[in-house]
């Protein structure tokens, strides 16, 4: 682990009055980077958006203006080429560096989800390419990235969604090493301009799947429509006897299946960072507005309920970032022998993004009608934050995925070397060589309670008791065969499980990031209430048994109140951010 560097006085922004926080602040951008090139690139990205200013970004957002200026900047500064090219295929500073990618995704979300989306769907389109053994296409892709190209992931279909078993994109052999592809794809970001669309299909003469590289500019590629009203182009497209050769095929058979799922493993993680960026910008805007407003001869921020709402929002936002950063550590140390990241990645997509919705809801209850005004970033944040839990698999899909890990997580631990903060400048090559996508129920985890052992704090202790009560429920009254078929029942149980995993990684990273005890306690004040809510929901399910209901009652707990702590959090963490950042107009 490398220690953070001090703030650079040459950052190019006016000084900000701010308490120490792990939140992104473009006005005092002092995040640690292990190399100067990464720091300089991120500051260039920030400067691009600040120079365009809030007013222009808002005009473009509401006019659904294609972000050509942004993509011109991406090309001139080699942004995507640097961030999204694995080592060995691009310039010396090009690498797939998850530490760097986290910050980049957060910055794009901070300034506008459309900009993040253009990069995100490029990441998905690049996944099957960088996982492929087709070196010619990989070299060509690296050159396209240098030219500022964007990419697309042709997986979902109008009728079947992302059900890859049922694809109607059919590839027929026409000769030795030659084929034609016919079919349509739906909800494909960047489908209007993508240099390469990594397209999933099936051979006509059997059940063999494949990925192939299509070009959006080809005459046999028909762009049907943009299916959304947005700056983004989310396309429906059709291929009509699109000609292919072996040179365009990226994967065949089981490798194609694995490439589809492993690409989503990489891409879904980025959704959490978009949520973190959106919420952070909205927080600065909301606290500044509330702090400057008076009602009934009082400052709005003097109302107790307002302080509670903002304190909850801030604590939840810090928790989101702590978890997402810690999940990155497990991604960067992953191997075929250590696949714990396959739990923490969908958690980042599912739990962090839904917490993002809650953060926006809490702040919107304070700023009220101000959150509808067209010159406020908050207005688009309130809309865009809703999208992220619903992309790359719904919350329900991801909960159904993570419950497969539950038995080993609680009852079958393994020993691992402790993972430290992974902030080195290195290429995360394993992400493009993840191996077979199955075997999730065989993945083992270290003892989750170890994260709790280092904290002698009242609310952390209460939460631990809740978690143990849930574990006892699973051990003594596990779901019946009928309940295992009841998706509604499983989803609520999955939420309880997810909150425990969430708490574990938050604690691991709170220690590594040296988060003060007051803030840890405030975060767990929120998590205790969340656990109690899910337990009450499970208690009320039609299929819950008397024994399960009794266990649920043991999970329902109240946080330990501490008015002095709440006051310190408000003054030192929340209200201290009231003038920390204002975007240039």
| Cα 549 from Cα 535, distance rounded (Å) | 9
Q: Are 40 and 77 in contact (CB under 8 A)?
A: no
- 234-245/298-299 β-pairing: unpaired
| Cα 158 from Cα 210, distance rounded (Å) | 19
Please give the share of the chain, as a percent, with pLDDT higher than 70.
96
Distances (CA, A) of 341 to 257, 262, 271, 563: 19, 12, 15, 38
Look up the CATH number of the domain holding residue 493.
1.20.140.10
What are the tens digits of pLDDT across the range 304-317? 999 999 999 999 99
| Cα 451 from Cα 428, distance rounded (Å) | 26
pLDDT value of residue 393: 67
How many domains, in total, are found in the chain? 3
Q: Which of 150, 172, 196 delimits the end of a domain? A: 150
Look up the CATH number of the domain holding residue 71.
1.10.540.10
Q: Is the pLDDT reported for residue 16 higher than 60?
A: no
Look up the CATH number of the domain holding residue 193.
2.40.110.10
In a domain, 44, yes or no: yes
Q: Are residues 44 and 139 in the same domain?
A: yes
In a domain, 424, yes or no: no
In a domain, 543, yes or no: yes
Q: Are residues 119 and 159 in the same domain?
A: no
Q: Is the pLDDT reported for residue 5 higher than 60?
A: no
Q: Are residues 182 and 286 in the same domain?
A: no
The stretch 405-412 carries a mean pLDDT of 96
**pTM of structure:** 0.95
Q: Are residues 321 and 245 in the same domain?
A: no
* Structural domain span for residue 160: 152-253
Instruction: Find, among 483, 463, 465, the residue nearest to 547 by Cα.
Output: 483
- Mean model confidence pLDDT for the chain: 94
Q: Are 216 and 197 in contact (CB under 8 A)?
A: yes
Q: Which of 115, 150, 185 delimits the end of a domain? A: 150
What are the tens digits of pLDDT across the range 218-233? 999 999 999 999 999 9
In a domain, 300, yes or no: yes
Q: What angle do CA 121, 125, 127 make, to 5 degrees?
A: 115
Q: Which residue has the higher pLDDT, 319 or 161?
A: 319
In a domain, 13, yes or no: no
Angle between helix axes 98-111 and 254-291 (nearest 10 degrees) is 50
Q: Which of 195, 221, 253 delimits the end of a domain? A: 253
In a domain, 438, yes or no: no
Q: Are residues 344 and 279 in the same domain?
A: yes
pLDDT band at 325 (very low <50, low <70, confident <90, very high): very high
Q: Is the pLDDT reported for residue 166 higher than 90?
A: no
| Cα 177 from Cα 180, distance rounded (Å) | 11
Q: Are residues 110 and 87 in the same domain?
A: yes
pLDDT value of residue 523: 98
Q: Are residues 33 and 164 in the same domain?
A: no
Tell me how far apart the terminal alpha carbons of the chain are, to the nearest angstrom: 38
């Amino acid at each position: 682990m490398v220690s953070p560097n001090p703030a650079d006085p040459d950052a190019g922004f006016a000084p900000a009055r701010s308490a120490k926080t792990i939140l992104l602040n473009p006005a005092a951008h002092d995040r640690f980077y292990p190399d100067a090139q990464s720091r300089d690139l991120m500051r260039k990205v920030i400067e691009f958006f600040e120079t365009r200013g809030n007013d222009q970004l808002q005009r473009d957002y509401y006019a659904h203006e294609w972000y050509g200026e942004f993509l011109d900047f991406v090309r001139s500064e080699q942004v995507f080429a640097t961030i999204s090219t694995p080592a060995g295929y691009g310039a010396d500073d090009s690498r797939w560096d998850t530490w760097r990618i986290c910050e980049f995704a957060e910055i794009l979300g901070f300034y506008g989800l459309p900009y993040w989306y253009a990069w995100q769907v490029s990441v998905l389109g690049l996944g099957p390419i960088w996982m492929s053994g087709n070196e010619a296409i990989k070299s060509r892709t690296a050159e396209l990235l240098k030219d500022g190209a964007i990419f697309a992931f042709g997986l979902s279909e109008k009728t079947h969604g992302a059900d890859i078993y049922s694809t109607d994109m059919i590839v027929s052999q026409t000769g030795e090493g030659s084929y034609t592809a016919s079919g349509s794809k739906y909800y494909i970001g960047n489908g209007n301009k993508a240099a390469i669309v990594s397209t999933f299909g099936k051979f006509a003469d059997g059940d063999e799947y494949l990925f192939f590289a299509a070009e959006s500019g080809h005459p046999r590629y028909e762009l049907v429509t943009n299916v959304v009203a947005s700056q983004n182009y989310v396309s429906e497209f059709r291929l009509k006897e699109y000609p292919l050769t072996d040179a365009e095929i990226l994967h065949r058979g089981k490798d194609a299946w694995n490439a589809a799922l492993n690409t989503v493993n990489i891409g879904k993680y980025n959704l959490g960072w978009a949520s973190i960026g959106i919420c952070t910008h909205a927080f600065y805007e909301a606290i500044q507005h509330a702090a400057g407003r008076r009602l009934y001869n009082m400052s709005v921020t003097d109302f107790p309920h307002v302080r509670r709402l903002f304190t909850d929002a801030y604590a939840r936002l810090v928790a989101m970032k702590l978890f997402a950063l810690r999940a990155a550590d497990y991604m960067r140390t992953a191997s075929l022998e250590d696949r714990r990241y396959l739990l923490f990645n969908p958690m980042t997509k599912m739990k962090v993004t839904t917490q993002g919705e809650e953060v926006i809801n809490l702040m919107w209850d304070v700023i009220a009608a101000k959150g509808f005004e067209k010159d406020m970033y908050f207005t688009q944040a309130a809309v865009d934050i809703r999208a992220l839990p619903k992309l790359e698999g719904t919350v329900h899909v991801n909960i159904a995925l993570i419950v497969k890990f539950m038995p080993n997580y609680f009852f079958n631990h393994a020993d691992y070397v402790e993972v430290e903060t992974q902030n080195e400048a290195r290429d995360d090559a394993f992400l493009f060589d993840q191996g077979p996508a199955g075997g999730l129920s065989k993945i083992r985890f270290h003892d989750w309670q170890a994260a709790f052992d280092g904290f002698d704090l009242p609310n952390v202790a209460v939460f631990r008791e809740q978690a143990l009560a849930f574990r006892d429920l699973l051990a003594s009254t596990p779901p019946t065969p009928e309940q295992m078929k009841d998706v509604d029942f499983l989803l609520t149980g999955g939420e309880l499980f997810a909150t425990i995993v969430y708490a574990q990684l938050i604690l691991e990273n709170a220690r590594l990031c040296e988060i003060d005890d007051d803030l840890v306690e405030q975060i767990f004040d929120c998590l205790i209430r969340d656990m109690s809510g899910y337990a009450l929901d499970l208690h009320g399910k039609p299929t819950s048994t008397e024994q399960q209901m009794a266990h649920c009652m043991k999970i329902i707990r109240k946080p330990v109140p501490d008015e002095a702590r709440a006051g310190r959090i408000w003054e030192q963490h929340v209200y201290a951010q009231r003038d920390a950042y204002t975007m240039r107009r």
